[in-house]
Amino acid sequence: MTNERSIDDLMNEFNDKAKAEGRYSDRAFWEVPRTAGSILDVPETPESRERIAWLRECIAKLEAEAKKDSALVKQIQPPPADAAQSPLPKKAAG
């Protein structure tokens, strides 16, 4: 059996239920401030700091490679021709 309700219908139903329970704040999830005991309020550990540093290094390497690849592509590609400066096509004699 399939559910014929759209995502919008489900979202509206969820929001209506939250409003009825007094939990609806009309804010996006990223606008809701952290609260004590929240999963977002987990303290850092030495391992997590190392992992974050490693991830930042990986991101920096990837960005550097992307810039290098982008520069190579620009060297290979000819500059775009200016349509206003290009000659008009010649008409075939007929």
Phi, psi (degrees; rounded to nearest 5) at 42: -85, 130
Short-list 33, 2, 27, CA closest to 15: 27
Query: For 28-76, how does the pLDDT look when each residue is reduced to its tens digit (9 = 90+)?
Result: 877 877 777 777 777 889 999 999 999 999 999 999 998 888 777 776 6
Q: Round to whole Å and give the CA distance between 67 and 9.
A: 44
Contact predicate 24/15, CB 8 Å? yes
The single residue listed with the structure tokens 């704040």 is 25
How many angstroms separate the CA atoms of 27 and 32, rounded? Answer: 7
Query: Whole-model pTM above 0.95?
Result: no
